[in-house]
Structure 1
Amino acid sequence: MTTVDLPAIEEAARRIAGHVRRTPMERSAALSELCGVPVQLKLEHWQETGAFKLRGATNAVLSLSDEERERGVVAASTGNHGRALAHAARIAGVPCVVCLSKLVPQNKRDAITALGAELRVVGRSQDDAQIEVDRLSREGMVPLPPFDHPAIIAGQGTIGLEIVEDLPEVDTVLVPLSGGGLIAGIAAAVKASLPKTRIVGISMARGAAMQASLAAGHPVEIEELPTLADSLGGGIGLDNRLTFEMVRDLVDEVVLLDEAEIAAGIRHAYFQEREIVEGAAAVGIAALLAGKVESCGPTVAVLSGRNVAMDLHARIVAGADSLEDAA
């Protein structure tokens, strides 16, 4: 099995120190009372670009050789990785192209172009956008994918190091699950020190590519559908090299949520925790509210990003339970 180990994650932590925020964990009184165990929220949406993706993108860009920097970097993204890569590339003076599908919200497209990256909108899925990435890679650009890359996974794994340092008695960690880069890195970091800690992946029922692949025993393609958790959309790649096996071997459970449950998580974050988060970031909270995760001890929910369109957020807070309701 090809994997990313603890030394690689520790090296990533040293490399990105000073370039990303060491985000805090805050106790949720409401969720702790509901669950009967201490519940902490890892506030990763406080990163400068509004999502955890800055860790992996920064680690990957800072790992490039001089020759690779001159060639520039390219990636497909559902929005947050593209924004993080654009930020890291601008700081390092590296040319950057981000390829998105038409499903990516306009606010995330605008944030990427504001950081100086070239934006290309291709097709109606992340797989369609990846075709353009592959073409540009053949022309010489360096591909830095959103999850299936050792430097990306190691960068995201630094969140796990911080969780263990801040809460060494942690029993369960709830992590948004899409392509698997975030949860693979966190699981590798946490289980290296605390092998009995449970890692639970949370995704949406609409188009959960990793869960479908785990059920099939190999990477599969599924239809990418509109969802409140848009950052969790996209496939894992039929030629997946790292995250499928890492998730299969390190993640203890996967939980799927419907759209109304995700909306309830967004509302709880806003009204009870005073935090604005996007749908993908609310899934840990949502799983606890829905009673779909049980924990015997201290629990951490990773709030992964805040890059939600504020008009959509306002409609969800007002009671909308789906994109259709919010239209």
Structure 2
Amino acid sequence: MLQLEQLQQAQRLIADTLSPTPLVLDHALSDRLGRRVWLKGELFQRTGSFKTRGGLHWVRTASREELAGGLGAVSAGNHALGLAWAARQADVPVTIVMPENASAFKVEGSRSLGADVILHGDINAAWELMHRWIEERSLTLVHPYDDERIIAGQGTVGLEILEQAPEASAILCPVGGGGLIAGIGVAASALRPELALIGVEPAGAASMAHAWLHGEPARLERIDTRAKSLGAAVVGELTYPLCRAHTRELVAVDEDAIRLAMRHLVYQAKLAAEPGAAVGVAALMEDLAVLPPEGDIVVVITGGNMSREEWQECL
């Protein structure tokens, strides 16, 4: 399984290009809970989400053979942006298949970074097309979450949190396919094993809880959530055991809770977070997580990529 040393190597490898993101104190939520609540601002990262970390680490550790035929990916948006940006740094072509309901903001953003973006069906159909193109076009797949190099890159978020918040007793992390929480879990378990890592999913796409229930990754029949960045139908073969080993609790939040959390983040914390980034705050506002009795709380705010129309719909 992934080790702390791999995360530390990833941190050293990307540090010259990607700066640490800040912790922002959520005054209103801190007053409400009677303890400090810090927001890890991954929406301030390059391309507007944590995904750039894994994308850049993957590209910088790739072999010439892996890069030779170009890269391929499937994404609802943030992985597309992060990988397109990282591939452009290395002057490597990338083809990305996105579901037809993907955010227009993320589609255009990925194209502006040089990616060849194709919209195709739902997320399952997008994967089918990409697997076919990998065979036909000799593309190298860069999985959005089920890849050790991607997980190691995302895990640098955890290393930063542990350095920035020495008094933290809990981290709340959004969960889609599981790459971020897997990486943070490796860091936290190695460096601060007493810390409670809590995963938060949208109730309409609770694929990690579904895997926990079945004892292995199992595909959801239906995805129904405005938190498209967390809309993975199935978690990874790598991310599932890492999450199971290092996560203390999983909770699910409904759509109304996500919307209210977004409003809180915009109007109280002054952070323009997308729906998938707001689920941790939603869990705190709904009192869903079992928190340690003392210590600071850190909530990972994973991204902030939305169009004006999407903002109007959500707020």
**What range describes the TM-score normalised by the shorter chain of this pair?**
over 0.9
CA distance in 1, matches of 2:239, 2:181: 9
Structure 1 unaligned segments of length 5 or more: list them: 318-327
Secondary structure class of the residue paired with 1:171:
strand
Q: 1:207, 1:223 within 8 Å by CA — same for their partners in 2?
A: no
Give 2:304's aligned residue: 306
Query: Aligned partners of 2:48, 2:221: CA distance in 1, in Å?
Result: 27
State the secondary structure of the residue aligned to 1:49.
helix
- CA distance in structure 2 between the partners assigned to 1:226 and 1:151 by the alignment: 29
Determine the C-alpha separation between the residues in 1 that align with 2:49 and 2:90.
19
Q: 1:275 aligns with which of 267, 271, 274?
A: 271
Alignment of 1:144 onto 2:142: yes
CA contact (8 A) 1:70 1:95 kept: no
- Residues 62-77 of structure 1: pairs in structure 2 closer than 5 A: 62-77=60-75
Structure 1 CA distance for aligned equivalents of residues 89 and 221 of structure 2: 36
Task: Give the C-alpha shift of residue 143 in structure 1.
Answer: 0.6
Matching residue of 2:101: 103
> 1:147 deviation in Å?
0.3
In the alignment, which residue of structure 2 is the partner of 1:132? 129
Summarize deviations over 1:197-234 as a string: whole Å, max 9, x none. 01101110112111111111111111343422110002
Distance 1:100 1:208 in 2: 20
Alignment of 1:1-327 (within 5 A): 3-125=1-123, 127-139=124-136, 140-236=138-234, 240-295=236-291, 296=293, 297-317=295-315
SS in 2 for 1:199: strand
Answer yes or no: is the 8 Å Cα contact 1:204–1:259 preserved in 2. Answer: yes
The one-letter code of the counterpart of 2:280 is: G
* Aligned amino acid, residue 135 of structure 1: R
User: Does the 8 A contact of 1:210 with 1:235 survive in 2?
Assistant: no
What one-letter code is carried by the residue in structure 1 that aligns with 2:187? A
Specify the alignment match of 1:325 in structure 2. Answer: none
Q: TM-score, length-normalised on structure 1?
A: 0.92
* Structure 1 residue 309 displacement after superposition: 2.2
CA apart distance, 1:9: 0.2
Cα distance between partner residues in 1 of 2:63 and 2:144: 19
Please say if residues 223 and 233 of structure 2, whose CA atoms lie closer than 8 Å, have aligned partners that are also in contact: no
Instruction: Check whether the contact 2:171–2:198 (CA below 8 A) recurs between aligned residues.
Output: yes
In the TM superposition, what whole-angstrom CA distance separates every residue of 1:12-32 from its partner, at most 9, and x where no partner exists?
001111222210101111111
For 1:253 and 1:28, locate their aligned partners in 2 and report how far apart those are by CA, in whole Å. Answer: 23
Shift of 1:104: 1.2
Count of residue pairs brought into register by the alignment: 312
CA distance in 1, matches of 2:144, 2:92: 17
One-letter identity of the residue aligned with 1:36? G
Structure 2 gaps, min length 5: none
Percent identity (aligned)? 36
In 2 relative to 1, CA 229–78 (structure 1 residues): closer, same or farther, beyond 3 Å? Answer: same
Task: Indicate conservation of the 8 Å contact 2:73/2:143, yes or no.
Answer: yes
SS in 2 for 1:206: helix
Q: 1: CA distance between counterparts of 2:314 and 2:119? A: 27
Runs of 4+ in structure 1 deviating by more than 3 angstroms, as ranges, are none
Residues 240-282 of structure 1 deviation map (CA, whole Å, 9 limit, x = unaligned) = 4310111111111111011000000100000001110100001
- TM-score, length-scaled by structure 2: 0.96
1:283 maps to amino acid: V
In 1, Cα distance between the equivalents of 2:241 and 2:255? 28
- Secondary structure of 2:299's match? strand
Amino acid at match of 2:286: A
Contact 2:266 2:272 in 1 (8 A): yes
How far 1:294 sits from its partner (Å)? 3.8
